[in-house]
Amino acid sequence: MTTSTTSEPAAAAPLLDLQALVVAVRRRRRLWCSAALLGLLVGVATAVLLPPPPTAVTKVLVAHQDDQPNDPGTLIRTDAALLRTTRIADKALRSLGSPEKPEDFMEDYGGIGLTNNLLQITATGDSDAEAVARAEALADAFVADHVRRIQEAANAESKALLDQRDRMRGELAQVNKAIGDGSSETGPKASADQESLFARRAELTSRITDFGQRAAEARVGAPRLIAGTQIVDAPRAVRHSLPRAAATNAAIGLVLGLVLGLVVAAVGTVVADRPVLRREIAANLGASVVAELPRRSATPWRRRRIRTARERLTASLARTVRDSAEPVSLLELGCARRASVIALDLARALAAEEPVVVVDGLPGAQLTDRRPKPGDPTVVSGERAAAGAHQEHRIGVGSVAPGTAWTDLRYLGTRTVLVVRAGHGSAAWLHTVARQLAEQRVPVIGVVLIDADPRDRTDGTLWDGPRTALRGLDQRTARQNGTGRHRTERPPIRAARVPDSDQEAR
């Protein structure tokens, strides 16, 4: 009776892995650091090459007839808008004796309300003196226009009140005449009419007096508003500090460049979908990460750590090759140089026991064309290795980059170790590599991760479940055993990890 095991469905992958995104963005720090530096340089260059024109500023206290304590600033914003009109610009240009058009002059000045009654006027010019003269002319023109509008409003209100008073005086004269004509009449009706006329005369007299007082108050209030509208801060040139402007622009450019670089790096990471974490690379390739090599560094202590990591990796791979009855190959993805160095180190370690030949299957024959050093193993090309009958132990070095001849990989080795640079291949291509190797029946012993993120704490070991990359090995083993059954479980294999420090590997 045939039994089969079923594995529980894997948890659904998140739509956006924040940990992978942070690691990928941190790995692209050259991009956003360069963007931040470029923004800083552009800010400094802008301050140096595009200095602001000579500028003058003045402040005007503006009194309004309808001032209210709770005014949200509508009146002062109206004054700022009136400042940028052709009427005031034309008056200022006339006082300056300039033939410039008001429409063009309006582009060189502006106003802003500092408070409900304080207007700041800013003007630019070809020199500080011209800017000061323009600011003064604009302030004078605005004050004169504001005073004129106050006087016109007061005169219009006073005239309307006086006209109403004169109309009522005419009506009062008619009432007085009616009272004089009816004084000779007698009788109850005549008495009632007289009382009504006297009441109307008293009302008209009171309203005439009221309109006269209001007309007088309208004339009296205008001088107070006129006196309250004045220039409180004389026009002066604004001093420009080049170091301060350069520092300000540099800070703004640095922040904008950094933000833009981070955004571009994050978007590029999401769009490219290039795995950088150990667990992602192992899951996409269907093989465990057995070792890793840190990023190359120029510091002496980092070089010692990298050298120690290379020695550990070489010893681990040498044990794997010795225990394997089939030829083993190293297939690189995005790290041909590092893979060739690992192959040479491995060949040197095995050469002490038996002759070793390195078969160069890298694009461009990188190992074959290199100048050999004393003690280096023999390196032959793939054509020579296929033509000759070598009795030596062979170590194949090839590539699984796009454009690889998949059918030639078995001639490099029937078992392989993938040397993958973190963040180089996309998830789709890693799936392609695993599928093609399975179709060629080249099982993957493990993955050597190059330039892994030092802060990555994810586990790159696959412990259970059938793996696509091992399908060829399972099928061949099943045929050799004569059972015709496929294994559905893989016993856990403890993978050795080569850290970039002196700590012991777990």
Query: What pLDDT score was predicted for residue 375?
Result: 67
- pLDDT grade, residue 2 (50/70/90)? very low
pLDDT in tens, 243-301: 999 999 999 999 999 999 999 999 988 888 888 888 889 888 988 888 888 877 656 76
Say yes or no: do domains 55-239 and 276-481 share a fold. Answer: no
pLDDT in tens, 355-414: 888 888 888 766 766 676 776 777 887 666 555 555 567 888 999 999 888 888 888 888
CATH number of 276-481: 3.40.50
> How confident is the model over 466-481, as a mean pLDDT?
43
If we measure between CA atoms, which residue out of 71, 65, 58, 138 comes closest to residue 98? 138
For the chain, the helix, strand and coil percentages under 3-state DSSP, each to the nearest 5: 55, 15, 35
pLDDT in tens, 21-70: 888 888 888 899 999 999 999 999 999 998 889 999 999 999 888 777 77
- pLDDT grade, residue 497 (50/70/90)? very low
Whole-angstrom CA distances from 427 to 18, 268, 396, 460 are: 17, 14, 25, 15
Q: Where are the domains of the chain?
A: 20-50+243-270, 55-239, 276-481
- Its pTM stands at 0.62
Query: What pLDDT score was predicted for residue 432?
Result: 92
E strands in 325-425:
328-333, 356-360, 378-381, 393-399, 415-421
- Map residue 308 onto helix, strand or coil: helix
Q: Which residue has the higher pLDDT, 232 or 71?
A: 232
Mean pLDDT, all residues of the chain: 80
Question: Angle CA(374)–CA(380)–CA(386) in degrees, nearest 5?
Answer: 155
Please determine, for residue 467, whether its predicted confidence score (pLDDT) is greater than 60.
no
E strands in 386-465:
393-399, 415-421, 444-450
CATH architecture of structural domain 55-239: 2-Layer Sandwich (3.30)
Query: What pLDDT score was predicted for residue 464?
Result: 56
Instruction: Please state, as a whole number, how many other Cβ atoms lie within 10 Å of the Cβ of residue 313.
Output: 21
